[in-house]
Structure 1
Amino acid sequence: MNQTLDPATVTGTSSQAAEKATGKPWAEWMALLDAAGGRAMNHRQIVAHLAAHHDVSPWWQQQITVVYENSRGLRHKHEMSDGYQISRSRTIAASATRISEAWLDHDTCRRWLPDSDFSVRKAAPPKSIRLNWADGSLVEVALTAKGANKTTVTVQHNKLAHAEIAERMKSYWAAALERLQSVVESPAA
């Protein structure tokens, strides 16, 4: 990965916002880290350099580092410090309670999430569910009520081993949420 991308394309934070918060626009941060040997540093080393040499908060140290890594091709799409992470969401015409039951009731879950191997790590229905996936990755489910019978379901799958697995799981969760929607919105549910 020896590429250079415009920081504006890899972050949701504009250069103006970065400059307002840190005193420097993205281009200046990228040049400073290039001059400091950032391409040869790992994530922690870049953060440590920012902490030692620049007066920015820990949050901005992380933000600048991630933007730098992404813009310089040092980090793949969906890559985090502990593996790859993807998320999918879908708004479903059902209550958060009904949807959490569809996750936690074994028989109902098997109707829309067949052949999956996981254990429930923590459940706080109707708000959130955390799962341990069989491959050691983690799944976090957030349920956000949008009214009595409308809920946004967000699945975040963390600690995925490879970029290919992350892409495959994005498709997997898109299809799974579509099946979940069919199950919980059906009159016989």
Structure 2
Amino acid sequence: MAKTTVGANADGVGDDAVQAATGRPRDEWFELLDAADAATWTHKDVATWLVAEHRVDAWWAQSVTVAYEQARGIRRPGQRQDGTYEASVTRTVDLDKTEGLRALAALVERELGVAPLALNLGAKHPTARFPLDGGEFVLASSTERSGGRSSIGLTWGRMPDGDRLADVKARMRGWLAEVG
């Protein structure tokens, strides 16, 4: 598979959206965080500070925190707080959420050669979890959209390094393209 760059947090969320949701653009948040010596703090401490001291919504605090960590070289794109790596992809399909997950789970099972450890079709957001060697996993999910459509997604988690991120994302995008 062709390698492509895996984007940083800031690539997926525009500065206008950050400012509209938090009251400041990213660069101002980064200046405040630098002044507070936040590069030496834990991820949780940074996000908590943004919520407690600046009343940033928790979701946006996480987004600003990840962007800050990536901008300061504390975290690489795709890297989780625990140091492992994760890649995710989504696509909207013309299937309801249960049909979408069934189709996606069947495809992932065929491609990986492993049955899901858990298949939860009755949840508000149905999921199927596939265990892989070395503690890695693939999580298939589905969320209802309007008009009988659903957003299906795949997350490949607990990769020990970021070397395969681009290839894994490309592989999962190919799987999503086959559904619906």
TM-score by length of 2: 0.66
Number of equivalent positions: 168
* C-alpha deviation, 1:131, in angstroms: 0.6
Q: Take 2:131 and 2:168, find their aligned partners in 1: how far apart are those partners?
A: 12
Query: Any unmatched runs of 5+ in structure 2?
Result: 1-7
Q: Percent identity?
A: 21
* C-alpha deviation, 1:153, in angstroms: 2.5
Q: Which structure is larger by alpha-carbon Rg, 1 or 2?
A: 1
Q: Tell whether the 8 Å contact from 1:11 to 1:67 is kept in structure 2 after alignment.
A: no
| 1:39-85 C-alpha deviation (Å, 9 max, x unpaired) | 33331343355466x23246144333222112222221122224322
The amino acid that maps onto 2:168 is M
Q: 1:114 aligns with which of 101, 111, 114?
A: 111
SS of aligned partner of 1:75: coil
* C-alpha deviation, 1:173, in angstroms: 0.9
The aligned counterpart of 1:14 is 15
Q: Tell whether the 8 Å contact from 1:142 to 1:155 is kept in structure 2 after alignment.
A: no
TM-score by length of 1: 0.64
Q: Take 2:25 and 2:172, find their aligned partners in 1: how far apart are those partners?
A: 36
Write out the 4+ residue segments of structure 1 that deviate beyond 6 Å after TM superposition: none
- The CA RMSD measured in Å over matched residues stands at 3.6
The aligned counterpart of 1:4 is none
Query: Any unmatched runs of 5+ in structure 1?
Result: 1-6
| Larger relative contact order, structure 1 or 2 (CA cutoff 8 Å, min sep 6) | 2
The aligned counterpart of 2:80 is 80
